[in-house]
């Protein structure tokens, strides 16, 4: 899967979860995702959804080190290459 497709999927996953949590904000590639204040259950849901979509296990510890949505997408692309 191309990195731009991964980026779109990550943005959508966060946007959907934020909407469910009642947080009305726009998610972009430059969004600092840790500032959303999502709890661990919501984050595990997002990562689980992305694992299902991409077909490989996501290392959550590595993901938390990524500052922006674009950084997450880049890391996911690299994980996909290693899978």
Higher model confidence: residue 63 or residue 8? 8
Helix (H) or strand (E) holding 42: helix 40-54
Tokens 């469910």 belong to 20
Contact 47, 59 (CB under 8 A): no
Mean confidence (pLDDT) of the chain:
91
pLDDT tens digits for 20-57?
A: 999 999 999 999 988 888 998 999 999 999 999 999 99
């Amino acid at each position: 899967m191309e990195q731009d497709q991964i980026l779109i999927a990550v943005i959508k996953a966060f946007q959907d979860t934020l909407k469910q949590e009642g947080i009305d904000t726009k998610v972009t590639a430059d969004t600092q995702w840790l500032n959303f204040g999502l709890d661990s259950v919501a984050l595990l849901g997002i990562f689980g959804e992305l694992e299902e979509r991409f077909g490989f296990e996501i290392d959550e510890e590595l993901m938390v080190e990524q500052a922006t949505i674009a950084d997450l997408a880049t890391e996911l692309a690299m994980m996909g290459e290693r899978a």
